[in-house]
Amino acid sequence: MKKFLWKYLWVALGCLIASASINLFLVPHHLLSGGVSGLAIIFYFLFGLPIGLQILLMNIPLIYVAYKLIDKDYAITTIYGTIVFSVAIDATRFLSSFNPLDDPILACITGGIISGVGSGLIFRVNGSAGGLDIVAAVVRKYYSFNFGVVSFAINCVIMLIAATLFGLKLAILTLISMFVSANITDKVVEGFNRKKTIFIVSYNTEKLVEVILKEVGRGVTLLDGEGAFTRQEKRVIFVVVSLTQIAQIKLLVQEVDPTAFMIVQDAAEVMGRGFTLPGTRNI
């Protein structure tokens, strides 16, 4: 029960942040967002219809699809997120009168950043605020389409409508805002505490393991490998380190075995002993 309460709390916080960014930075400069929200903002500019109410009404058929094609629990979570987001965006409508940034370029970037943080908080706890999230869930479950392509196509249609109605400049600024928002969302979902994974292929693995454990203080995993050309068995060292430990690892490898083969890769999120406590997640 406590887990679900925390989830709904974070979804509500994410919805509040995202809705505030729309009213503070996007609406005052006639900028849009993607998906259902973007359509709602277009009708708001044209007819003055409340954005939140439109979002709620537009999501009703999508939620029905989620209930029929996906599962009941997902539909309930989506209903909660959609209602909270719809209420929040209309409740924060007064923020559009403040217009804290006069420059539309700064507004689109700032709005994208804050909106991305809000969306990231929602997705980080596997929540949903409706809209294209439902389309994504259906596409993942029933079709082999890449949702990124589907989402991009839908948003391109929205941008074409925006360009036709409000001008090309607005559409381009909106695309910038959406790009920033998508990247920030990914960062929040994956976690800012990025690590590096290192694979080391060496004929002196025992010595390397010893110095890494002693000098760096990180756990090491040994993998069995075989050279495809020589058919010679090898031991592959696998270790996860922080960014500040990369240089130290390189120096140690160079000292112990200058001929070693080393690959360094990004690790979006690392959980477990030495990085995060078991069962916890940075939100």
Quick one: pLDDT band at residue 282, thresholds 50, 70, 90?
Answer: very low
Q: What is the mean pLDDT of residues 235-241?
A: 90
Residue 281's pLDDT is what? 39
More confident residue, 158 or 27: 27
Sign for the pseudo-dihedral over CA of 249, 252, 255, 257: negative
What's the whole-number mean pLDDT along residues 204-230?
Answer: 86
Mean pLDDT confidence for 121-139: 81
If we measure between CA atoms, which residue out of 56, 20, 60 comes closest to residue 37?
56
Mean pLDDT, the chain, rounded, equals 85
pLDDT in tens, 157-207: 888 888 898 899 999 999 999 889 988 987 887 766 668 899 999 888 889
Q: Which of 80, 87, 63, 67 is nearest to 9 (CA)?
A: 80
Calculate the alpha carbon distances from 134 to 66, 79, 158, 179 in Å.
6, 11, 18, 20
Domains of the chain: 2-190 (no CATH), 195-267 (3.30.70.120)
**What is the spatial distance between Cα 85 and Cα 123, in angstroms, rounded to a whole number?**
14
Q: Looking at residues 32-42, what average pLDDT do you find?
A: 91
Does the pLDDT of residue 266 top 90, yes or no? no
Q: Which DSSP symbol is given to 172?
A: H
Using the predicted structure, report yes or no on whether residue 272 has a pLDDT greater than 50. yes
Nearest to 25, CA basis, from 75, 77, 92: 92
Q: Indicate if the pLDDT at residue 235 is higher than 80.
A: yes
The structure's pTM equals 0.75
Report, as an integer, the average pLDDT of 99-106.
Answer: 93
Rounded to an integer, what is the distance from CA 133 to the centroid of its chain?
A: 12
What pLDDT sits at residue 277? 42
Instruction: Reply yes or no on whether the pLDDT at 144 is more than 70.
Output: no
The span from the first CA to the last CA of the chain, in angstroms, equals: 18
Which stretch, 83-87, 98-102, 188-192, 216-220, has highest mean pLDDT?
A: 83-87
With a cut of 90, say whether residue 130 has pLDDT above it: no
In one letter, which amino acid is 157? V
Percentage of the chain beyond pLDDT 90 is 41
Whole-number pLDDT of residue 118: 94
237 beta partners: 200, 222
Average pLDDT, integer, range 89-101:
93
Specify the pLDDT at position 24: 95
pLDDT for the residue numbered 183: 86
Using the 8-state DSSP alphabet, how is residue 78 labeled? H
Residue 283: pLDDT over 60: no
Percent of the chain whose pLDDT exceeds 70:
88
Q: In terms of Cα–Cα distance, which of 255, 268, 213, 214 is closest to 237?
A: 213
Residue 112 has pLDDT above 70, yes or no: yes
96: Cα separation from own chain's centroid: 26
